């Protein structure tokens, strides 16, 4: 497995870039990204669309890498998202939410599958300004 720490740092930078295709480039061509048990985004185009939705909602989006741990073929990437919900339809509230992605890495060294999760209720409360 490649240097996962460097990979995760570069992935974090991609999330901060406002370039959704940069995020998708970390996934295998047929890779998947599922968030909070929802329907997975399959393939780089769909993954870029998912990243774009966060980048649009939070034009000042910052993602911080909190930790990255390896357990066999799985990687646990922990993050903090910071931003102001000032995109189209946004309410202008600041959000700080922690979450994680559990990656299954492919033989090509890219993410084959990512299971992401965060506290959706806390996220909603912050977006709504509660």
- pLDDT tens, position by position, 35-47: 999 999 999 999 9
Residue 2 in this model has a pLDDT that exceeds 70:
no
Supply the CATH number for residue 117's domain.
3.10.450.50
Cα of first residue to Cα of last residue in the chain, in angstroms, is 43
Among candidate residues 29, 11, 26, 97, the one with its CA nearest the CA of residue 58: 97
- pLDDT tens string 68-97: 999 887 899 999 999 999 999 999 999 999
Name the 3-class secondary structure at 43.
Answer: coil
Catalogue the E-assigned strands of 43-118.
62-71, 74-84, 94-105, 111-118
Instruction: For residue 124, give its domain range.
Output: 4-128
pLDDT computed for residue 29 by the predictor? 96
Domain count, the chain: 1
């Amino acid at each position: 497995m490649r240097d996962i720490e460097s990979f995760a740092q570069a992935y974090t930078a991609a999330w901060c870039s406002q370039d959704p295709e940069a995020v998708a480039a970390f996934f295998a061509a047929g890779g998947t990204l599922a968030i909070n048990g929802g329907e997975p985004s399959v393939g780089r185009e769909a993954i870029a669309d998912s990243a774009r939705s966060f980048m649009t909602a939070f034009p000042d989006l910052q993602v911080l890498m909190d930790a990255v741990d390896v357990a066999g073929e799985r990687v646990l990437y922990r993050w903090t998202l910071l931003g102001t919900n000032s995109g189209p339809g946004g309410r202008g509230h600041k959000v700080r939410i922690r979450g994680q992605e559990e990656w299954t890495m492919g033989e090509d060294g890219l993410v084959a599958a990512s299971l992401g999760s965060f506290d959706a209720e806390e996220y909603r409360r912050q977006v709504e300004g509660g």
